Amino acid sequence: MAIKYDEIGPEKVVQVYDQKTGMKGILVIDNTALGPGKGGIRMTPTVTVEEVSRLARAMTWKCALAELPFGGAKSGIIADAHTITKEKKKEIIQAFAKALKPYSPSTYIAGPDMNTAEEEMRWYAEANGDNKSVTGKPSNIGGIPHELGSTGYGVAQATLTVLQYLKRKPSQTTFIVEGFGNVGFFAAKFLTEAGMKLVAVSDSKGTAVYDKGFNYENLARIKKEKGTVTAYEGAKIFDTRAIITVTADVLITAAVPDLFGIKDAERIKYKIIIEGSNIPTTEEAEEELYKKGVLVLPDFVANAGGVISSYAEWAGKDEKEMFKLVKEKIVANTKKVLENAEKKKISPRTAALEIARERVENAMKKR
């Protein structure tokens, strides 16, 4: 699939290579009308220019909807983080940071994404030479690490806002989480604390289903000790892909892109899907689910906690202020999108896009 260009962007597509380290990287700056492009560094062996471009566009809408002074961007490094040494990973990240100095931080501010976290952001800042070039850094160099759970916390707030809007009680609602990394881990924590019942969870080793409802503390301990949720005693185990066919009220997507497509829409039994991960499906599949009566809260609404946290760090706020800001913005934006969708009888994505697009286009006119 090729990159889609339109009046919004992308403004720049950059591919970089370093012969010494073997680093192969991608940067897509989608739109900077509202400010420098903001977006994380994704490190996978399969990341492509097209995938990074789609993610950059999602960031454009996400920042606009959250009313942050950022545009949209994203970057990717083609490498397998699970097979290289820590030293090699540092070399690659720092080669990438040096290669992006012409763009970062002037038109691109980096951050963590798949297989990159606070340590990688420290390496990036060191090599770039400017702490403002990246967010999600360790606290001892002025950062607010994403490991604190800002994205998962925001996903939980979005979910609870949807339930409140639909007049559903959390205590009478079952949910499942696709992916038990940083986002899924914290979303599950905050939602079980709110009284929701977690009946299925997946990771790269498989899907664990427990109809009685997982004990979150036990699940977190088992994941840490055994390295997989499939070690949970008494759970039924299926393959990872089976997560989309489990029966529950709410699906929280929290890991891989393109989790399901339009052909899978018929098999999905959820009443609500909260997109905690980026681009978990296509707009066509979402429209099909909307016609079936499934409420899908799009990624750039539901998982904006991470970029709101990035803004808090960039603006010099502390951890407490960050969580307060995430809750305020996620709750307000979710309500606004749901009200707009109901009023105009359109899908939540269409409603959210209308709001975000208007803000970006107005900024482009002023520029």
What's the rounded Cα separation, in Å, for the pair 182 and 120? Answer: 15
Beta strand 174-178 pairing with 108-109: unpaired
What's the rounded Cα separation, in Å, for the pair 246 and 341? Answer: 27
Predicted local confidence at residue 146, as pLDDT: 78
| Beta-carbon contacts of residue 216 (< 8 Å; ≥ 6 apart) | 188, 189, 192, 193, 198
CATH architecture of 12-63+70-139: 3-Layer(aba) Sandwich (3.40)
Tokens standing for residue 75: 């970057």
On whether the CB atoms of residues 9 and 30 are closer than 8 A, the answer is yes
Give 105-156 as a DSSP string: TTTEEB-B-TT--HHHHHHHHHHHT-GGGB-S--GGGT---GGG-HHHHHHH
- The backbone region for 94, taken as left when phi is positive above 0, alpha when psi lies in -120 to 50, beta otherwise, is alpha
What's the rounded Cα separation, in Å, for the pair 232 and 214? Answer: 9
Q: Could you state, in order of their start, the residue ranges of all structural domains in the chain? A: 12-63+70-139, 150-359
What are the residue numbers of the active site?
74
Tokens standing for residue 101: 């100095």
Q: Longest Cα pair distance anywhere in the chain, in angstroms?
A: 59
Q: What is the pLDDT along the chain (367 residues), one digit of tens a residue?
A: 579 899 999 999 999 999 999 999 999 999 999 999 999 999 999 999 999 999 999 999 999 999 999 999 999 999 999 999 999 999 999 999 999 999 999 999 999 998 999 999 999 999 999 999 999 999 999 999 878 899 999 999 999 999 999 999 999 999 999 999 999 999 999 999 999 999 999 999 999 999 999 999 999 999 999 999 999 999 999 999 999 999 999 999 999 889 999 999 888 989 999 999 988 999 999 999 999 999 999 999 999 999 999 999 999 999 999 999 999 999 999 999 999 999 999 999 999 999 999 999 999 999 8
**Residue 367 is which amino acid?**
R
Could you check whether 12-63+70-139 and 150-359 share the same CATH topology? yes
What's the rounded Cα separation, in Å, for the pair 136 and 147? Answer: 8
Beta strand 272-275 pairing with 250-253: parallel
Predicted local confidence at residue 323, as pLDDT: 97
Predicted local confidence at residue 1, as pLDDT: 58
H helix runs in 272-345, sequence order: 283-291, 299-302, 305-314, 319-344
Tokens standing for residue 117: 């976290």
Q: How crowded is residue 148: how many other Cβ atoms within 10 Å of its Cβ?
A: 18
| Beta-carbon contacts of residue 215 (< 8 Å; ≥ 6 apart) | none
Question: Domain spanning 150-359: which superfamily?
Answer: NAD(P)-binding Rossmann-like Domain (3.40.50.720)
What's the rounded Cα separation, in Å, for the pair 165 and 151? Answer: 21
Q: Which residues pair with 207 in a beta bridge?
A: 202, 238
